[in-house]
């Protein structure tokens, strides 16, 4: 059964402390006549311990807690809608920002897989809306509203981290998890609303906060940035000193097919995009993840699979095949599981590793931008 709850908005008119870097936080506390080490305590309380209120930071003096509460908020997003899928594997939240913009965040739970432990992955948004207009994506049809700040991106993970940690602790109390296995969020993917590389600085500022070992401590190799193929951004991220994963939304094996669904292809055609991917591999020694949404009758035949195999055969990559999470208004239908497997089998002939990923949370509008659309239409 799908569960849903609506939470009234909270008036958070104060500036968010999440917008500060470590250095900025230290400087602000020094300006309040506090010793520098206090910034480490506040940072740990917010990002490591997940405190959502200054009153809960009992390692600080009562006076300092009061000063902080008068000057800052810990985030400024209000949870408008929260949904849980029938199988409890997925939570999706719709947040309202102080200016009224709506953004979505998803928490996905995966059980143990072979040698890997179970994991909890947060999918974050980087923009309100999107300018790139991919025809199969609900967000792409909404148009661009604005970039999210670094703090607004980070806050999405913090909110889901509190939920994930609470779940882990309940399992400890129930005896189904040991205290040493409390882990909370294990992975973050920048695959929600918006194009991450079009909001590059704020994206990277958020990644550095999430990766900080004195905070949430998400390992760089557990952070994935997805792009529709903005080549300058791909080249830039290849030069970063933090080795995060790159996922490229390809979704077609030729320019004609790709341009029909992804207008960005007219600016950055497939040949140039594949070259940029090879540049990323050469610079980082890391493979690229190729995201390929399967659209029934549009890009999912053996002919398409063979074309895809030929253009990817010299690229160090892993292909994720994703049957589309259809929108109500969209013209596309979901490729069946057997057809997806046949597509995967065709790719295997080119020695290209791939995974068929069945989308989570279809029953709760977990596809990008879908919950926002329904909320604006008054259908939630």
With CA atoms as reference, report the closest residue to 250 among 238, 264, 236, 240.
264
Q: Strands (DSSP E) along 14-148, which ranges?
A: 78-84, 90-96, 102-110, 119-123, 127-129, 144-147
Long-range contacts of 278-283 (CB under 8 A, 24+ apart): 278/314, 278/315, 279/234, 279/235, 279/238, 280/234, 280/235, 280/237, 280/238, 280/246, 281/315, 281/316, 283/238, 283/239
State how far the Cα of 149 lies from the Cα of 285, in Å rounded to an integer.
30
The one catalytic residue among 19, 101, 104, 167: 104
DSSP class of residue 295?
B
State how far the Cα of 363 lies from the Cα of 4, in Å rounded to an integer.
11
State how far the Cα of 114 lies from the Cα of 355, in Å rounded to an integer.
14
The one catalytic residue among 130, 134, 277, 368: 368
With CA atoms as reference, report the closest residue to 356 among 339, 345, 336, 341.
341
The DSSP-derived string for 169-236 is HHHHHHTSS-GGG-----EEEE-SSS-GGGGHHHHHHHHHHHH-TTTT---GGGEEEEES--HHHHHH
Q: How many CB atoms lie within 10 A of CB 302?
A: 12
State how far the Cα of 294 lies from the Cα of 272, in Å rounded to an integer.
22
368 noted as active-site residue: yes
Q: Nearest 5°: phi and psi at 100?
A: 95, -10
| Neighbouring-strand partners of residue 294 | 323
Helix (H), strand (E) counts: the chain: 11, 13
272 noted as active-site residue: no
What is the number of alpha carbons within 13 Å of residue 279 lying toward its C-beta?
Answer: 15
The dihedral over CA atoms of 107, 109, 110, 111, expressed in degrees to the nearest 10, equals 170
The catalytic residues are 104, 368
């Amino acid at each position: 059964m799908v569960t849903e709850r609506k939470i009234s908005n909270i008036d958070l008119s104060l500036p968010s402390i999440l917008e500060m870097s470590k250095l900025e936080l230290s400087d602000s506390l020094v300006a309040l006549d506090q010793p520098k080490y206090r910034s480490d305590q506040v940072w740990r309380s917010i990002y490591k311990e997940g405190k959502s209120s200054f009153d809960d930071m009992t390692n600080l003096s009562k006076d300092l807690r009061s000063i902080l509460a008068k000057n800052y908020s810990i985030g400024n997003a209000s949870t408008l809608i929260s949904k849980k899928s029938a199988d409890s594997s997925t939570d999706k939240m719709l947040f309202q920002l102080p200016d009224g913009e709506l953004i979505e965040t998803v928490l996905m739970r995966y059980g143990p897989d072979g040698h890997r432990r179970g994991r909890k992955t947060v999918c974050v948004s980087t923009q309100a809306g999107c300018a790139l207009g991919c025809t199969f994506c609900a967000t792409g049809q909404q148009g661009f509203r604005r970039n999210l700040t670094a703090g607004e991106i980070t806050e999405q993970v913090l909110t889901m981290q509190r939920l994930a940690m609470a779940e882990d602790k309940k399992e400890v109390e129930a005896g189904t998890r040991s205290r040493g296995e409390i882990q909370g969020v294990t992975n973050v993917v920048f695959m929600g609303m918006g194009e991450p590389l079009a909001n590059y600085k704020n994206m990277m500022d958020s990644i550095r906060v999430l990766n900080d070992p004195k905070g949430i401590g998400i390992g760089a190799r557990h952070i994935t940035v997805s792009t529709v193929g903005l080549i300058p951004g791909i080249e830039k991220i290849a030069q970063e000193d933090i080795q995060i994963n790159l996922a490229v939304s390809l979704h077609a094996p030729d320019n004609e097919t790709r341009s029909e669904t992804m207008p960005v292809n007219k600016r950055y055609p497939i040949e140039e995009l594949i070259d940029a991917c090879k540049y990323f591999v050469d610079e980082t020694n890391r493979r690229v993840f190729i995201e390929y949404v399967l659209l029934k009758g549009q890009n999912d035949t053996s002919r398409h699979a063979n074309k895809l195999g030929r253009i990817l055969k010299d690229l160090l990559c892993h292909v994720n095949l994703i049957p589309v999470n259809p929108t109500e208004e969209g013209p596309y239908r979901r490729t069946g599981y057997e057809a997806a497997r046949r597509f995967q089998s065709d790719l295997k002939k080119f020695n290209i590793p791939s995974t068929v990923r069945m989308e989570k949370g279809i029953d709760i509008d977990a596809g990008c931008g879908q919950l926002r659309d329904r909320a604006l239409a008054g259908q939630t």
